[in-house]
Each structure stands twice: as structure tokens, then as C-alpha cells.
């Protein structure tokens, strides 16, 4: 657990914990950012049977000797309920996105109410593939975040710069814009239901993982941006995960960085052995 200096100064703080698919907000004596390992299955796998087997095998890698972390899988809507049944209370199963509208003429959309009705707590917003391929704008992503929070769910907001932006040393500026726009209107007291995933676009699905030093540097910048938007205490509470080609080989060094609180894993979360090793990171 990463202990935040602010908690030592300010006393108790709240932490978001999950019990199976039922998330809860609990008080902790010290502000501790519990590690959070999550998988993003994207448009995979291709059948319910495969999804069930994968979910079960991933759940079986969580043992009594695993790190005390939150673990979540973000899976295609059609697999959510069966994956929940397959993993018991070992991890939570979240949605890869939501529609900001609650009902009406939005063909193909899935609402927070629908997700809540089957026990879903977590949803992704702002993934770079949604931004790039599906044209989701910062305003739309902000509407998703607000709806998720208003409905009592929890959001993992993904942010990150493109390769061109990275090469121009714009990672911090891009993250600042995406954080400020994505979190607009979200109150400090609701941040215990927000996690940030810093995912440099150039590292997603490319096999090019950011070095622990680069990732730590941007994570520290993101935390400073959160302090600017809210305050230092809030910034010290929010979990910031790294995403981008995380593997069993890279996870330990990433998790040793002071401002990296977890991982959002795409490709390797489709391989239960690899993702199991990531869940059982060593820091």
C-alpha cells in the first residue's frame, strides 16, 4: 500500500474498496492507496465459453498469498453477468463504457441503470480507442464520468498522450487537459469512486511499455494536476494506474514506483497465466 504523507498530517481519510462486485466506501485510519490491478478485454474473447474459462482461471490466480489489491476485469457487456458468476467475490467485473443518457432513443447504448441492475460498479471512460475510433470527445467523456458518479458507480478515467505529443514533451499538458475536462463537475467527496489510468497511446497494444521512470514522472505530474484541480489531500488519495503493454516482466518495476498504484492491462489480461502473474506482482 502506498501511504500518502497528507494522511499522516490530516488523519483519517476514506478509501474505496470492493467486495466482489459490490463496491463500498470504507473509512481507513491512514490514507492508503490500495493497489488496483485491472484487465481490459476490449473486443475479446469471441464466445461466452471462452470468457467463462478466462474469468475462472484469472480468479483462481488470486490466493491468500496474493498482494492485498483490488482486482477488476472490464469485459464486453454480453459477458458481464456470466463472468461475475464465474469469479465469485474474488474480483469485480466492470463495463468497458456507458452511455451518458439514462434511457430513450440511443440504439445500441447501455445505461448506468442497466449496469447497476446486474450489480456492476465500475466502468471505464476515456479509453484512447474510444476517443480515436469512436470519436468520443472530452465533453462526452465528462458526461459519462458525471453520470457514472451521479448513479453511485465508480469510474476509471483513462488519459494519455499520442506518440507525437510524447515526442514534443507534451505528456503533462495533454494529461492536464484530459483530467480537467474529464473530471469537470466531479466533487472532491466523490473522488473515492474515481481512479485514473494513465495510458500513453504509443504504449497501448504496441509492446512498447513506458519505462518505470517515464511512467512515474507522468504519474507524479498527474497527481500535481489533481492537487491543482482539488487539493493535495485529494491528490494523495486518488489511485493512478499505468496502462500500456504491461507484462509479467514489466509489472514489478512499475509497481515499485511511488505514484503508480496499479495497472490497466489489455493484451496480457487475455492470458490467465500472464495476468495471474501481474495480479501477483512483487513490489
Our finding on whether 69 is near ligand PEP (CB under 6 A) is no
Residue 161 in contact with ligand PEP, rule: CB under 6 A: no
Among 8, 205, 231, 249, binds ligand PEP (CB under 6 A): 205
**Catalytic residue positions, numbered:** 127, 199
Residue 243 found at the interface with ligand PEP (CB under 6 A): yes
Q: Which stretch binds ligand PEP (CB under 6 A): 5-13, 65-73, 230-238, 258-266?
A: 258-266
Residue with cell 521512470: 213
Residue number of the CB closest to ligand PEP reads 266
Beta-bridge partners for 122: 154
Q: Considering the rule CB under 6 A, would residue 39 count as an interface residue with ligand PEP? A: no
Q: Which three cell numbers stand for residue 254?
A: 512499475
CB 177 within 8 A of CB 137: no
- Give the whole-angstrom CA distance, residue 46 versus residue 49: 9
Stretch that binds ligand PEP, among 53-61, 165-173, 199-207, 223-231 (CB under 6 A): 199-207
| Interacting residue with ligand PEP among 120, 146, 246, 279 (CB under 6 A) | 246
Beta partners for residue 268, in sequence order: none
Least distance CB 184 / ligand PEP (angstroms): 23
Sign of the C-alpha dihedral, residues 130, 136, 137, 138?
A: negative
Does 265 interact with ligand PEP (rule: CB under 6 A)?
A: yes
By beta-carbon proximity to ligand PEP, the closer residue of 236 and 239 is 239
Is residue 264 close enough to count as binding ligand PEP by CB under 6 A? yes
DSSP string, 2-24: EEPHHHHHH--EEEEEEETTEEE
Answer for which of 70, 161, 190, 199 binds ligand PEP (CB under 6 A) is 199
Backbone angles phi, psi at 153, to 5 degrees: -90, -175
153 binds ligand PEP (CB under 6 A): no
Closest CA to 207 of 180, 156, 244, 166: 244
First to last CA, the chain: 10
Q: Contact positions toward ligand PEP, by CB under 6 A?
A: 40, 199, 204-205, 243-246, 264-268
Amino acid at each position: 500500500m502506498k501511504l500518502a504523507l497528507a494522511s499522516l498530517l490530516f488523519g483519517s481519510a476514506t478509501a474505496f474498496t470492493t467486495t466482489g462486485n459490490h463496491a463500498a466506501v470504507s473509512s481507513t485510519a491512514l490514507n492508503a492507496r490500495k493497489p488496483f490491478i485491472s484487465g481490459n478485454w476490449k473486443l475479446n474473447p469471441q464466445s461466452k465459453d471462452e470468457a467463462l474459462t478466462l474469468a475462472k482461471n484469472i480468479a483462481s490466480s488470486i490466493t491468500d498469498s496474493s498482494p492485498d489489491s483490488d482486482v477488476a476485469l472490464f469485459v464486453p457487456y454480453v459477458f458481464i453477468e456470466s463472468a461475475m458468476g464465474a469469479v465469485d467475490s474474488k474480483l469485480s467485473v466492470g463495463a468497458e463504457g456507458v452511455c451518458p443518457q439514462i434511457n430513450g432513443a440511443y440504439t445500441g447504448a447501455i445505461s448506468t441503470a442497466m449496469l447497476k441492475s446486474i450489480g456492476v460498479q465500475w466502468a471505464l471512460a476515456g479509453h484512447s480507442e474510444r476517443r480515436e475510433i469512436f470519436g468520443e470527445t472530452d465533453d462526452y467523456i465528462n458526461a459519462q464520468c458525471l453520470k457514472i458518479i451521479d448513479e453511485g458507480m465508480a469510474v476509471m478515467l483513462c488519459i494519455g498522450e499520442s506518440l507525437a505529443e510524447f515526442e514534443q514533451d507534451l505528456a503533462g499538458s495533454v494529461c492536464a487537459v484530459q483530467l480537467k475536462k474529464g473530471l469537470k463537475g466531479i466533487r472532491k467527496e466523490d473522488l473515492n469512486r474515481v481512479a485514473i489510468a494513465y495510458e500513453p497511446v504509443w504504449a497501448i497494444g504496441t509492446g512498447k511499455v513506458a519505462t518505470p521512470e517515464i511512467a512515474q514522472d507522468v504519474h507524479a505530474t498527474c497527481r500535481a494536476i489533481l492537487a491543482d484541480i482539488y487539493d493535495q489531500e485529494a491528490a494523495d488519495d486518488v489511485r493512478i494506474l499505468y496502462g500500456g503493454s504491461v507484462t509479467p516482466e514489466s509489472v514489478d518495476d512499475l509497481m515499485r514506483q511511488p505514484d503508480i498504484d496499479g495497472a490497466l492491462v489489455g493484451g496480457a489480461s487475455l492470458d490467465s497465466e500472464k495476468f495471474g502473474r501481474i495480479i501477483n506482482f512483487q513490489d
